[in-house]
């Protein structure tokens, strides 16, 4: 008797389990293709992608304009290192600076590298401009932050799983409660050695925590008062995800109509990654004005791949798509629709507690304790119903589709989500 053929999916999962380090716990689905808001598994089943690779694929999977930029530049010149100039980097730097309204940028590859870069710039500024005594600089961070996975970055994480047995850790960080201006002011007042305040405009990984409306603007004002750099990690919130070009964005030079009336919270240091490439290539960047960025001199910092011609071409195409396709406006409009539809349902739901978010960065909190596997089981059921999402922390499910979604598609997804949640009602 013939042995049952293992599915293609199961084979792929088995290979990862056998040969790959077990540093993730993926939802059991094996994807082989993506286009726009959709992905397909290796058996050919089609899904709506409601994670967008943690908001890297804001422009949609395999966007033709971005893919074309990647292919064409790869065929022309892919890597020179920064030992020589290349004819794309300056163009790219000018484009990004004008796009976001800064005087200078420093190109890197991943989000964590860009955060590391921002921390190094901030410390150097503290010693060479602010005049803090050598090795005394402190950087304020927030509880439940997520800024990446390097040794220094996990030094100021409070996720025990991310930290255990990875010490000794890097000194020089003070952790305060998120969305607490009193804590920020008290820390600034009591410590003359503070160089910077590193903050996510919305805490994505922690479960899409949106701070109060005046938090960022008042935090920025406090930083100014105490001569401390306001460092915004917009790796996840940036590039149209939250309904405007940046979550800290007010009346900057961005093309977003929704900006009017929202006060400008311009960071001293802006950190970008993820959707800077539309997911086609690892591209990150740190932006600042000259008074800050000029502390960096030859030899201080770098990366072999940072600012390579392919990254430059891909990022410019990815940012053009955001503008051409009005992705910020679309995220704002669809986000409001998503939350209002889910709120209608939640009013009478015993399984969904609340929906929160901005633009198309949203989360639904499941009515069960944090250790339960209800949110995971809901994500498995969503998968079976053709929609891929993942719990962030315990009982919180993040919903962040590509921003190229149409209203009709969003309504279909709302139906799938509500239909699925209904099967879990107690
Ligand atoms: C994803 C993320 C990072 C880290 O980016 P990587 O490219 O995974 O290193 C940093 N900060 C925030 C807010 C993120 O969401």
pLDDT at 263: 58
Collapsing DSSP states into helix, strand and coil, what is residue 391?
strand
Pick the closest to residue 265 from 211, 325, 315 (CA basis). Answer: 211
**Parts of the chain belonging to CATH 3.90.1150.10:** 2-59+327-422
Please calculate the CA angle 25-30-35 and round it to the nearest 5 degrees. Answer: 120
- 41 φ/ψ angles, rounded to the nearest 5 degrees: -85, 175
pLDDT of residue 200: 98
Q: Are 118 and 293 in contact (CB under 8 A)?
A: no
C-alpha angle 60/64/70, rounded to 5°? 100
Q: Collect all residues with Cβ–Cβ distance below 8 Å to 141 and sequence separation of at least 6.
A: 147, 156, 173, 174, 175, 176, 197, 198, 199
At 33 the three-state DSSP class reads: strand
- Take atom 11 of ligand 1 and give the residue whose Cα is closest: 147
Question: Among the atoms of ligand 1, which is closest to the Cα of residue 273?
Answer: 7
Tell me: the pLDDT tens digits for 164-187? Answer: 999 999 999 999 999 999 999 999
First to last CA, the chain: 44
Beta bridge partners of 197: 140, 230
236 Cα to the center of ligand 1, angstroms: 7
Q: Which atom of ligand 1 is nearest to the CA of 112?
A: 9
Contact 357, 340 (CB under 8 A): no
Q: How far apart are the C-alpha atoms of 196 and 290, rounded to whole Å?
A: 17
Q: CATH 3.40.640.10 region(s) of the chain?
A: 64-324
257 included as an active-site residue: no
Structure-block tokens of residue 28:
């059991």
Q: Which of 41, 233, 268, 368 is catalytic?
A: 233
Q: Which fold has domain 64-324?
A: 3.40.640
Residue 60 φ/ψ, nearest 5 degrees:
90, 155
Give the distance (Å) from ligand 1 centre to CA of residue 146: 7
Q: Best of 206, 274, 278 to mutate for ligand 1, by most ligand atoms within 8 A of CB?
A: 274
Q: What angle do CA 161, 272, 305 make, to 5 degrees?
A: 90
Q: How far is the CA of 320 from the centre of ligand 1 (A)?
A: 22
- CB-CB contact of 219 with 197 (8 Å): yes
Is 146 a catalytic site residue?
Answer: yes
Using a 6 Å CB cutoff, which residues line ligand 1?
54, 110-112, 115, 146-148, 200, 204-205, 233, 235-236, 273-274
Residue 390: CB atoms within 10 Å: 19
* pLDDT value, residue 5: 66
What pLDDT does 4 receive? 62
Q: How many angstroms is it from 289 CA to the middle of ligand 1?
A: 22
C-alpha of residue 271 to centroid of ligand 1, in Å = 10
Question: Can you tell me which atom of ligand 1 is nearest the CA of 113?
Answer: 9
274 is an active site residue: yes
Instruction: Determine the residue of 146, 201, 207 to mutate for testing ligand 1's pocket, defined as the one with the most ligand atoms within 8 A of the Cβ atom.
Output: 146
Residues of the chain predicted below pLDDT 70: 1-5, 250-263
Task: Let me know: does 222 contact 214? Beta carbons within 8 Å.
Answer: no
Nearest CA to ligand 1 atom 15: 236
Please provide the CATH number assigned to the domain covering 2-59+327-422: 3.90.1150.10
The atom of ligand 1 lying closest to the CA of 236 is 15
Cα(3) to centroid(ligand 1), Å: 44
Among residues 124, 220, 266, 274, which one is catalytic?
A: 274
pLDDT score at 249: 76
pLDDT at 3: 60
In ligand 1, which atom is closest to the CA atom of 153? 10
State how far the alpha carbon of 304 is from the alpha carbons of 121, 315, 426, in Å: 18, 17, 55
Distance between CA 49 and CA 413 in Å, rounded?
A: 10
């Amino acid at each position: 008797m013939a042995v049952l053929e293992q599915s293609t999916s199961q084979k792929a999962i088995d290979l990862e389990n056998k040969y790959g380090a077990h540093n993730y716990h993926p939802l059991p689905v094996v994807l082989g293709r993506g286009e726009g808001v959709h992905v397909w598994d290796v058996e050919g089943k089609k899904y709506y992608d409601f994670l967008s690779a943690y908001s890297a694929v804001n422009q949609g999977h395999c966007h033709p304009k971005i893919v074309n930029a990647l292919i064409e530049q790869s065929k022309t010149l892919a890597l020179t290192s920064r030992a020589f100039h290349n004819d794309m980097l300056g163009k790219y730097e000018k484009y990004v600076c004008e796009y976001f309204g800064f005087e200078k940028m420093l190109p890197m590859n991943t989000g964590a590298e860009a955060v590391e870069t921002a921390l190094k710039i901030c410390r150097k500024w503290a010693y060479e401009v602010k005049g803090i005594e050598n090795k005394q600089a402190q950087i304020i961070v927030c509880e439940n932050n997520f800024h990446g996975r390097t040794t220094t970055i996990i030094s100021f994480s409070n996720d025990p799983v991310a930290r255990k047995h990875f010490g000794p850790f890097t000194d020089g960080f003070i952790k305060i409660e998120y969305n607490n201006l009193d804590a920020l002011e008290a820390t600034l007042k009591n410590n003359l050695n503070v160089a910077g305040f590193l903050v996510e405009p919305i805490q994505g990984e922690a479960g899409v925590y949106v701070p109060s409306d005046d938090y960022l603007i008042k935090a920025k004002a406090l930083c100014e008062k105490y001569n401390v750099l306001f460092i915004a990690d917009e790796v996840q919130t940036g590039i149209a995800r939250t309904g405007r070009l940046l979550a800290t964005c007010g009346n900057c030079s961005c093309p977003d109509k929704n900006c009017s009336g929202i006060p400008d919270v311009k960071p001293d240091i802006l950190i970008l990654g993820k959707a800077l490439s539309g997911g086609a290539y690892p591209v990150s960047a740190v932006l600042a004005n000259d008074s800050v960025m000029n502390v960096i001199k030859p030899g201080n910092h770098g990366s072999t791949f940072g600012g390579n011609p392919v990254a430059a071409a891909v990022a410019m195409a990815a940012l053009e798509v955001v503008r051409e396709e009005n992705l910020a406006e679309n995220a704002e409009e669809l986000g409001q629709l998503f939350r209002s539809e889910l709120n209608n349902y939640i009013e009478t739901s015993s399984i969904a507690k609340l929906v929160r978010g901005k633009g198309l960065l949203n989360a639904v909190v499941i009515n069960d304790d944090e250790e339960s596997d209800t949110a995971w089981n809901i994500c498995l059921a969503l998968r079976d119903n053709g929609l891929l999402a993942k719990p962030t922390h315990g009982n919180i499910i993040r919903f962040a589709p590509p921003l190229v979604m149409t209203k009709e598609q969003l309504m279909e997804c709302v139906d799938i989500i509500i239909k699925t949640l209904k099967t879990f009602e107690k």
